[in-house]
Structure 1
């Protein structure tokens, strides 16, 4: 199995990170328009132009969130997205993993780059009040595979 892994240091408190990762308004501010039930066992839908990513919330607490990918690109199905964070010297260090990919494909590589961009969008949202959610995020060239 393969894993995308990133981390980002954000000048904010852990409670603000939790709010940005556990609500429709929060996720819509850094990733894409989102709706659903933001509690363990709930499902959330993240909307893009022609597709919807459906995620089940497996775990949600003040320092960790885990989502199971249900309906999305076939390569994403049954993968898990994890966010863990901790306060360090007045900042919050966010550890991100997108786990359980069956193989390292062009889509895996593109998603790794796009996740890095979305984590910087999360950082911008929390530090400046303005993220860069889809479709305003930096796009990876579509000739590299995927949609």
Structure 2
């Protein structure tokens, strides 16, 4: 199994960062086209990445303004049963976001591509929270 870990500082409130990684509206600003779900423990989220990518995830860890982890329950074979997590820690003038995407079955093309995509998506999250910059889904690899 393989894991992905990243950290970045975001100059925003801890509440705003948590909303960005745990709510349907927040996730649709930087990761998905659209998302449905209720940010509570054991909630099922519907993640829309386009017509052929209607995925689902379940919240398996939830600590308000501190941590949320999603278990991918409907996704491509490589993403299925992986865990996407966000842990927040208040810093002096920013929030440290510790990102993880764990339990990948293999280090293959899908894994390598996803590592790149996560870096691009997290940059979109940072730019949205710090500067209010929204990048349309189809442009996020360049955003």
Q: TM-score by structure 1 length?
A: 0.89
1:101 aligns with: 104
Secondary structure in structure 1 of the residue aligned to 2:137:
coil
1:7 aligns with: 7
Counterparts of 1:23 and 1:9 in 2: how far apart (Å)?
20
1:48 aligns with: 49
2:113 aligns with: 110
Asked if the contact 1:121–1:133 (Cα under 8 Å) also holds between the matched residues in 2, the reply is no
The root-mean-square deviation of aligned C-alpha atoms, in Å, is: 1.3
Secondary structure in structure 2 of the residue aligned to 1:31:
coil
Pairs within 5 Å for 1:1-147: 1-32=1-32, 33-49=34-50, 50-61=52-63, 62-132=65-135, 134-138=137-141
Q: CA deviation at 1:37?
A: 2.4
Q: Which moved more, 1:105-114 or 1:24-33?
A: 24-33
Asked if the contact 1:118–1:132 (Cα under 8 Å) also holds between the matched residues in 2, the reply is no
1:39-75 Cα offsets, whole Å, 9 max, x none, are 1111101111221121001112221101000010101
Counterparts of 1:98 and 1:132 in 2: how far apart (Å)?
23
Q: TM-score by structure 2 length?
A: 0.92
Q: Which moved more, 1:114-123 or 1:16-25?
A: 16-25
Gaps of 5+ in 2: none
Counterparts of 1:132 and 1:45 in 2: how far apart (Å)?
21
Matched residue count? 139
Counterparts of 2:15 and 2:136 in 1: how far apart (Å)?
21
Runs of 4+ off more than 3 Å: none
